[in-house]
């Protein structure tokens, strides 16, 4: 029998309103709240089968809509029973059968994963995109947002347990859809200097397409926010210059954040890499309510919280290397140190620095969660 670590919770008491107030620093937390952006398939399957006694259902299964509904039922139970106040669902989980596909056609590489317990992963083709000229732009198969089905989001809204909220992420981010999908990173680097007008047209079309979908979903009951992903940096720098981000990318995040805030919802942003060159833009101009993805080698979450925690919410931050490789006792000590510095004043939720990836030992994930459950702010 699997060791429980105090999980799953027998009687969860999610409180999305308190979570919102804590993340906005309007309330001192009465307990530790949890936050994740996603779980890989392998940990989901293990937790469902070993801890919840449920059967894994592939959302791309042969039963069509019934497969997706069964998958969503499983995900609701997972997020609920493991102590979260919300569930976050990505479009590719429910509309592409779990495949890592963008709504925008692109050149994806799909080699077999070397991790025997993982899924086949898709990789961006950095050297070749689909739009390299104005002719390509005109001929590109831009997605018809009005044809994207809404029923999976409505199903989630109708079936959430009392007290839980829904966060959505419809697609990859504004930069990611330029860099990874429509143009490619290498061609994008050239286009920034050789074809800026074309790049502006592409970025505007991508941005308006993404915003158009979110306009459709703003009135969804139980929706409490958008938790958008958009990797803008790496260890030492942003992926394109801060000046170019301010021209092609950040204005679209600001437009999305404005739409979200106009509907009294939260705008969370996951972005990997260094945030230093653009953190003031994200806080002051975009208006991000809480930010996610931290790595100790870049800036530990405790340092970020100390510097910016009075101005922006902080999500996760348990370093992926430590979450993956530390012995349980050392990991628990590390988690407690993070909680000591971040968990008492508000504006923080505990979770992985990036995600519950398929290489993270389940025991380490559960130990992190148990430390949060046992912590008294």
pLDDT at 121 over 50: yes
Q: For residue range 328-377, list pLDDT tens digits in order.
A: 999 999 999 999 999 999 999 999 999 999 999 999 999 999 999 999 87
Give the pLDDT mean for 31-52: 97
- DSSP code string of 292-325: E---TTT--HHHHHHHHTTTSEEE--B-HHHHHH
pLDDT at 236 over 50: yes
Rounded Cα distance, 220 and 218, in Å: 6
Rounded Cα distance, 346 and 31, in Å: 10
In this structure, the number of other CB atoms found within 10 A of the CB of residue 297 comes to 9
Domain residue spans in the chain? 16-374
> In whole angstroms, what separates CA 96 from the centre of its chain?
17
Please tell us whether the domain made up of 16-374 is placed in CATH 3.30.420.40.
no
pLDDT at 114: 47
Helix H segments across the chain? 16-23, 41-46, 65-81, 91-95, 134-139, 151-159, 174-176, 185-194, 196-217, 242-248, 250-262, 279-280, 301-308, 320-325, 328-342, 362-374
pLDDT at 120 over 70: no
Do 92 and 167 form a contact (C-beta atoms < 8 A)? Answer: no
pLDDT at 118 over 60: no
SS3 of 112, please?
coil
pLDDT at 124: 76
Residue that is written with structure tokens 């389940």 in the block: 362
Sheet with 86-90, side-by-side order of all strands: 86-90, 165-169, 223-229, 266-270, 290-292, 313-315, 348-349
Give the pLDDT mean for 30-54: 97
Residue that is written with structure tokens 């130990």 in the block: 367
pLDDT at 1 over 60: no
pLDDT at 91: 78
Q: For residue range 338-352, list pLDDT tens digits in order.
A: 999 999 999 999 999
Query: CA geometry: angle at 37 spanning 270 and 357, to 5°?
Result: 110
Q: For residue range 101-112, list pLDDT tens digits in order.
A: 578 888 766 655
Rounded Cα distance, 292 and 193, in Å: 31
Q: For residue range 143-166, list pLDDT tens digits in order.
A: 998 988 899 999 999 999 999 999
**CB-based contacts of 267, cutoff 8 Å, min separation 6:** 225, 226, 228, 256, 257, 260, 261, 286, 287, 288, 289
Do 175 and 240 form a contact (C-beta atoms < 8 A)? Answer: yes
pLDDT at 115 over 70: no
Q: Exposed, middle or buried, 356 (CB in 10 Å: 0-12/13-18/19+)?
A: buried
pLDDT at 109: 65
pLDDT at 212: 96
Q: What is the dihedral of CA 360, 364, 367, 368, to 10 degrees?
A: -50
pLDDT at 102: 72
User: What are the tokens at 68?
Assistant: 């997706």
Lowest mean pLDDT among 87-96, 238-247, 315-324: 87-96
User: What are the tokens at 30?
Assistant: 């009465």
Task: Please tell me which residue, 26 or 171, carries the higher pLDDT value.
Answer: 26
Q: For residue range 186-205, list pLDDT tens digits in order.
A: 999 999 999 999 999 999 99
Q: Is the pTM for the entire model greater than 0.85?
A: yes
Do 25 and 346 form a contact (C-beta atoms < 8 A)? Answer: yes
pLDDT bucket at 61, cuts 50 / 70 / 90: low
Q: Are strands 86-90 and 165-169 parallel, antiparallel or unpaired?
A: parallel
CA distances from 209 to 45, 177, 213, 216, 248 (A): 33, 11, 7, 11, 14
């Amino acid at each position: 029998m699997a060791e429980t670590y105090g999980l799953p919770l027998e009687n969860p008491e999610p409180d999305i309103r308190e979570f919102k107030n804590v993340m906005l620093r309007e309330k001192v937390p009465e307990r530790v709240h949890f936050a994740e952006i996603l779980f890989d398939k392998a940990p989901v399957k293990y937790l469902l089968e070993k801890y919840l006694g449920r059967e894994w259902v592939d959302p791309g299964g042969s039963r069509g809509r019934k497969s997706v509904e069964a998958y969503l039922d499983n995900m609701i139970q997972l997020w609920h029973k493991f102590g979260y106040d919300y569930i976050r669902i990505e479009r590719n989980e429910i509309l592409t059968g779990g495949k890592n596909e963008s709504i925008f056609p692109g050149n994806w590489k799909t080699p077999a994963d070397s991790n025997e317990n993982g899924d086949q992963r898709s990789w961006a083709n950095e050297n070749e995109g689909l739009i390299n000229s104005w002719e390509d732009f005109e001929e590109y198969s831009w997605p018809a947002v009005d044809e994207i089905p809404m029923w999976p989001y409505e199903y989630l809204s109708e079936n959430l347990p009392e007290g839980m909220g829904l966060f959505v992420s419809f697609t990859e981010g504004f930069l990611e859809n330029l860099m990874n999908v429509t143009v490619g990173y290498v061609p994008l680097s050239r286009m920034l200097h050789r074809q800026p007008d074309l790049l502006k047209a592409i970025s505007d079309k991508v941005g308006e397409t993404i915003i158009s979908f979110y306009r459709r979903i703003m009135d969804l009951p139980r929706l409490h926010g958008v938790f958008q992903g958009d990797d803008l940096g790496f260890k030492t720098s942003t992926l394109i210059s801060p000046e170019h981000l301010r021209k092609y990318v950040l204005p679209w995040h600001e437009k999305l954040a404005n739409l979200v805030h106009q509907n009294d919802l939260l705008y969370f942003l996951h972005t990997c890499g260094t945030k230093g060159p653009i953190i003031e833009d994200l806080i002051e101009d975009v208006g991000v309510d809480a930010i996610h993805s931290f790595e100790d080698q870049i800036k530990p979450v405790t340092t970020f919280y100390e510097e910016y925690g009075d101005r922006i919410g902080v999500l996760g931050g348990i370093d992926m290397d430590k979450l993956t490789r530390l012995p349980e006792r050392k990991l628990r000590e590390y988690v407690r140190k993070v909680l000591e510095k971040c968990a008492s004043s508000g504006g923080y939720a505990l979770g992985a620095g990036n995600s519950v990836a398929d290489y993270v030992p389940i025991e380490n994930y559960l130990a992190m969660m148990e430390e949060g459950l046992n912590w008294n702010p």
